[in-house]
Amino acid sequence: MVLGHESAGTVVEAGAAVATLKVGDRVALEPGYPCRRCRACLGGHYNLCPDMVFAATPPYDGTLAGFWAAPADFCYRLPDAVSLQEGALIEPLAVAVHIARQAQVSPGQSVVVMGAGPVGLLVGAVARAFGATTVVAVDIVPSKLEFATSFAATHTYLSQRVAPEENARNILAEAGLPAGADVVIDASGAEPSIQASLHVVRVGGTYVQGGMGKPDITFPIMALCLKEVTARGSFRYGSGDYKLAIDLVAAGRVDVKRLIDGVVAFKDAEEAFRKVHEGKVIKILIAGPNEKIDGDKLDAAAAPA
Ligand SMILES: [Zn+2]
């Protein structure tokens, strides 16, 4: 199967009925195409469409290819200020935008983000852009927390091998939130993080599950009940999320460039996957097979591993 779902490219051909795009336009590619007719689609939640055709999700091939055919309304023209490389990062940023919208992050709030991988980092940045005044990044890797501090986090906490309640107490002490956090977002999918999340959220607060890990875990449901926590899931992205993600980058509110550790030629794609697997980088872009890498001046179809 062909991999890839975080991509941008240049329009080389447009259908006769396409009025919104022309040859040469640079676009971010939203990689999932819903049926447009089912209850979820018609209800405005096309990300929940049961008949979604999504790149690199069996049986469908992904975008790591020289050419890609897409419906025009799922191609988002990039403003001049946004590079194609940044365009390839719109996909994970749209995931973060959707999570922050599910959490209804609002000005002045405190937000704890469990996990400082790409999505966790981007959720922190979007939360700041939405007006959160306290954003706490939590992870088990010190270097990820260092990066989070320089990116969007106001506070960090290095998770310890202790009970989730104790990690939760430490997080709240570190961030000066004795009453708990307004919003907790799990972007890790890890069971101990999810358990700590329910002890970090304040009475009446909101918890959103963004990360995907084991399908079943032990969950502190009593804390959810006693605190009347609002719990929500978050899956991919829906109406308006891609557009807002591009607007945030164009306005300089989220600097996705900082997540890019380099670009490799298409033939060296394996190297990119290996580096990501080894945890040495956050994102590496893979140039499209029709593009030459010209130092830093790559302006090519590119997809991060
Ligand atoms: Zn549908």
Domain range summary for the chain, segments of one domain joined by +: 7-93+239-304, 104-233
**Distance (Å, whole) CA 123 – CA 120:** 5
Check residue 300 and give its pLDDT.
44
User: With pLDDT > 70 as the criterion, what percentage of the chain qualifies?
Assistant: 96
DSSP state letter for 36: S
Q: What is the pLDDT of residues 246-260, one digit of tens each?
A: 999 999 999 999 999
Say which range, 188-202, 226-240, 277-291, has the weakest mean pLDDT.
277-291
pLDDT at 280: 82
104-126: pLDDT as tens digits = 999 999 999 999 999 999 999 99
> Do 7-93+239-304 and 104-233 show the same overall fold?
no
104-233 has which CATH code? 3.40.50.720
Query: The domain 7-93+239-304 belongs to what CATH superfamily?
Result: Medium-chain alcohol dehydrogenases, catalytic domain (3.90.180.10)
Is the pLDDT confidence value at 39 over 60? yes
pLDDT value at 298 more than 80: no
Q: How far is the CA of 95 from the centre of ligand 1 (A)?
A: 19
Determine the distance separating the centroid of ligand 1 and the alpha carbon of 48, expressed in angstroms.
7
pLDDT surpassing 80 at residue 301: no
Q: Name which of 189, 150, 191, 192 is nearest 171 in CA terms.
A: 192
Mean pLDDT over residues 203-224, rounded? 97
21 neighbors 72 (Cβ within 8 angstroms) = yes
Q: Tell me, in angstroms, the distance from the centre of ligand 1 to residue 184's CA.
A: 30
Distance 239 CA to ligand 1 centre (A): 13
Cα 32 to averaged position of ligand 1 atoms, centre (Å) = 11
What mean pLDDT is predicted for residues 186-197?
Answer: 98
Residue-level pLDDT at 294:
58
Separation of 299 CA from ligand 1 center, angstroms? 34
CB 193 within 8 A of CB 140: no
Which residues face 54 on adjacent strands?
32
